[in-house]
Amino acid sequence: MLEGLEITTLAAEGKAMGRWNEQVVFVPMTVPGDVVDVQIRCKRRRFMEGYVVRYVRRSPLRTEPFCAHFGVCGGCKWQNLPYEEQLRLKTDQVRDQLTRIGRIELPEIRPCLASEQTRYYRNKLEFTFADRRWLTFEEVASGADLEASPAAGFHIPGMFDKVLDIETCHLQPEPSNTIRLETKRYCLERGYTFHNAREHTGFLRNLVVRTASTGEVMVIVVFGEERPQAIADVLDHLAERFPEITSLCYVVNTKWNDSTSDLEVRCHRGRDHIFEEMEGLRFKVGPKSFYQTNSRQAYELYKVARDFAGLKPEDTLYDLYTGTGTIANFCARRCRRVVGIEYVAEAIEDARVNAALNGLENTRFYAGDMKAVLDDAFVAANGRPDVIILDPPRAGVDEPVLEVIRRAAPERIVYVSCNPATQARDLALLDADYRVEAVQPVDMFPHTHHVENVVKLVRRERSPLDGQ
């Protein structure tokens, strides 16, 4: 055990850390300024990991977590930090990664853009049913005779078969909590079995709730067995109990894994989609559609990206990794043409539907692997881009794609990233041709270490002697 370890900073992925004889020690659920006695549970050559046995001194930065499940469910790990401190740390995280990994000249990093809502900000949550709930360490230590009752909640981090029963989650607005609790109550009352991940048994498996800014609600119940009468019973009860549900769907998943992307979603009541709205634009969101999970803050993020793009009426915009075309359609009225590329074919269909829904006739969307679709011939056929918006997955942009972008030579590039580390790597690869003009972190997920970052790049002026 280490006695009197001072927690000095937060490191990658929001891990709190201190140093003991120059060796890094990671200690979860602590904040900078805490002094703690730590029981080490894992030793490596370069670091150790442990958990708090006793607080010698609590940091003045600490604030009281508002959720009863804090520290157990694995989400919202920064609830014990004031929101202003979270924003400061996210700004520092972006600055550190762009500087340390990118090693390029940077302007002053703008302060992280705060989320107007810090609770109940998510528009989508997925819950898991389990035949036995996870017992907390405190419950086990109490020695009490505890009933292993079923659960409807979240997986314990790193444990596919352990589920924490959730009473109140502060991430999604009502009727999310009420729908989950009523589904659990009714199914227990009717004697329906809950899923057992190890034995691959049980009728109830997952519950997805989507709540839109328009007030519409989608509920998707995932069943582990094809039992039509029982399925209809559960869904009819939810429809009667919650008339605000505008889209009530279900999936039958008899696979060993929880993924439903390859399975049919059947609509039981209402429409098979809901609508989101943004600046008068309507976006159709189906059961498998991707939409930014913080609707209000997505609007702020897209406004930053559009502002950085500096679009003119005659411009051609390429929106790479366009997803369901939200950014592309959001920007379409500011320029002559928008070209979107995305590897998920279903997402491209959504993008086309949303363009038609909003009367946008200057958009073109293409499905396929970015490396295969975006080449010099594609640029020649669709017109050289004046502006490119990049919003890649966490792994960043493949180097061959960056080479095509450099040859296409847009005047401006707007790089939206959920992973500043891979963003920094890509910025370094673009640095010979583009300088970073502005950096704006955006907080999409309060009380977590996650941060979106938007970077504006402007093509460098070339000397007439360059290339000679």
Q: Which residues form the catalytic set? A: 418
113 DSSP 8-state letter: B
Q: Which two tokens stand for residue 27?
A: 């200690």
Fill in the amino acid letter for 218.
M
Sign, Cα dihedral of 429, 431, 434, 437: positive
**Cα(46)–Cα(48) distance, rounded to whole angstroms?**
7
Give alpha helix (H) positions in 98-175: 137-142
358 DSSP 8-state letter: T
Q: Is 455 helix (H, G, I), strand (E, B) or coil?
A: strand
Q: b or e along 178-209 (b: 16 or more beta carbons within 10 Å of the residue's beta carbon)?
A: ebbeebbeebeeeebbbbebeeeebbbbbbbb
- Where are any strands of DSSP class E within 368-426? 387-390, 412-417
**Cα(351)–Cα(317) distance, rounded to whole angstroms?**
15
**Cα(125)–Cα(152) distance, rounded to whole angstroms?**
12
Question: Which residues, 6 or more positions from 345, have their beta carbon under 8 angstroms from its beta carbon?
Answer: 367
Q: Which two tokens stand for residue 347?
A: 């997402």
DSSP-assigned beta bridge partners for residue 40: 50
